[in-house]
Amino acid sequence: MQDFLKRLPKAELHLHIEGSLEPELMFALAERNGVELPYASVEAARAAYAFEDLQSFLDLYYQGMAVLRTADDFFDLAMDYFQRAHAEGVVHVEISFDPQAHLARGIELSVQMEGLGRARRQAERELGISTALIMSFLRDCPADEAMRVFEQAAPYWETIDAVGLDSAERGHPPSKFTEVFARAKELGIPRVAHAGEEGPAAYVREALDLLDVCRVDHGVRCLEEPALVERLRDERIPLTVCPLSNVRLKVVKHIDDHPLPRLLEAGLVLTLNSDDPAYFGGGVLANYLACEQAFAWGKETFASLARNAIEVAFMDSRRRQALLAELDMVLGEA
Ligand code: HPA
Ligand SMILES: [Zn+2]
């Protein structure tokens, strides 16, 4: 099964590139840029990744990204991740990034975009993976700041596949961002949003009604509203579920208690993702393997989750057809 899950062509739709910063690279970049880290060693950094909730993680996540200063840093960050993902059978990666978190530290948007763009092109050329870029807004910052950043990003709109919404969820409902999401829609840019991770099912509803999202990131708390579950199923709105993240941020007590089996049972379009692999104990493959351990799903189930991800990814139709054919081949050989 392990070999099958590795060979399965996997698309990752929910990945914060800043959350892929492994302590080894964090230390290397800190050295390169003369940034002081609050950890004595790589091991001490890993040991500090014991989270109580989303906010306690976000505190270290924002602190860690302080080592990213130049375009080369963003390039190294993304390239490092693309290589690891490629090695575990990931064929398509959609990276979210948090421009406001870097702008607040004086790192220009052009620096972020140059580094990430260069890594995307190199990964596509040298590793044969396809990529997409999601510009995420910080929901715990003012809505007018998100709008300013989005307008500032006008020269890059063509390279942005979607806008997203992340950071501290509670007390920051999707409704706060109606305007900037409407602006993205007007420009024909697709929309996704984190909702129903720590926040209530009502936030998932708001993301659909007010932000017109085509996918919901996490969304696991939709189960608290049966009518919402029906709607997600009927409208085939995909959820990008991140089981190891949910365990590490105590959204669920234990992987065995994860609602994935219930979400599957409800007939929802689900995908498996890593969220912040450097902080939550592994990449996409680790998330597939954790589900195998916990739920003992068969190959067909994993293949259908991988198929969902390819079907709802931001990629051109020829690439989609090729990856679906590859998936059928791997399943046929299994
Ligand atoms: O898991 C997350 N949730 C919300 N915001 C985030 N930003 C990075 N990771 C996360
Ligand atoms: Zn996330």
User: What are the tens digits of pLDDT across the range 168-194?
Assistant: 999 999 999 999 999 999 999 999 999
Domains and CATH numbers, the chain: 2-333 (3.20.20.140)
Calculate mean pLDDT across residues 212-229: 98
Question: C-alpha dihedral over 155, 159, 162, 164, to 10 degrees?
Answer: -60
% of the chain beyond a pLDDT of 90: 100
For 102-158, what is each residue's pLDDT tens digit?
999 999 999 999 999 999 999 999 999 999 999 999 999 999 999 999 999 999 999
Active site residue 197: yes
Q: What is the ipTM of this complex?
A: 0.95
- Active-site residue among 197, 198, 206, 292? 197
194 CA from centroid of ligand 2 (Å): 7
Q: Which atom of ligand 1 is nearest to the CA of 197?
A: 3
pTM over 0.95: yes
pLDDT attached to residue 334: 87
Residue 297 pLDDT exceeds 90: yes
User: Which residue lies with its CA nearest to atom 10 of ligand 1?
Assistant: 167
329 CA from centroid of ligand 1 (Å): 34
Closest ligand to the CA of 13: 2
pLDDT attached to residue 118: 98
Give the residues across from 131 on adjacent strands. Answer: 93
Which residues have C-beta within 8 Å of that of residue 316, sequence separation ≥ 6? none
User: Which residue lies with its CA nearest to atom 1 of ligand 1?
Assistant: 275
How far is Cα 206 from Cα 93, in angstroms, rounded to an integer? 27
| Residues flagged as binding site for substrate | 276
Residue to mutate (ligand 1; options 51, 61, 98; most atoms within 8 A of CB) = 61
Closest ligand to the CA of 273: 2
Alpha helices in the chain (DSSP H): 2-7, 23-33, 42-48, 54-64, 71-87, 99-103, 109-126, 143-152, 178-186, 201-211, 226-234, 243-248, 260-265, 277-280, 284-295, 299-312, 317-333
113 CA from centroid of ligand 1 (Å): 20
326 CA from centroid of ligand 1 (Å): 31
User: Which residue lies with its CA nearest to atom 7 of ligand 1?
Assistant: 167
* Cα–Cα distances in angstroms (integers) from residue 170 to residues 47, 58, 129, 199, 229, in the given order: 27, 13, 35, 5, 21
Residue to mutate (ligand 1; options 51, 139, 170, 197; most atoms within 8 A of CB) = 197
For 283-295, what is each residue's pLDDT tens digit?
999 999 999 999 9
Rounded to the nearest angstrom, the gap between the alpha carbon of residue 151 and the centroid of all alpha carbons in its chain is 23
Check: CB of residue 280 under 8 Å from CB of residue 318.
Answer: no
Calculate mean pLDDT across residues 24-42: 98
How far is Cα 45 from Cα 79, in angstroms, rounded to an integer? 21
With a Cβ cut-off of 6 Å, ligand 1 is lined by: 16, 19, 54, 61, 166-167, 194, 197, 245, 275-276
**DSSP string of 143-188, one letter each residue:** HHHHHHHHHHTGGGGGG--EEEEES--TT--GGGGHHHHHHHHHTT
Q: Look at strands 192-195 and 130-138 and give their pairing.
A: unpaired
Question: What is the average pLDDT score of the chain?
Answer: 98
How far is Cα 261 from Cα 138, in angstroms, rounded to an integer? 30
Q: Which atom of ligand 1 is nearest to the CA of 167?
A: 5
| Residues flagged as binding site for Zn(2+) | 14, 16, 194, 275
List Cβ<8 Å contacts ≥24 apart for 291-294.
291/243, 291/255, 291/260, 292/1, 292/2, 292/5, 293/255, 294/243, 294/255, 294/256, 294/258
189 CA from centroid of ligand 2 (Å): 19
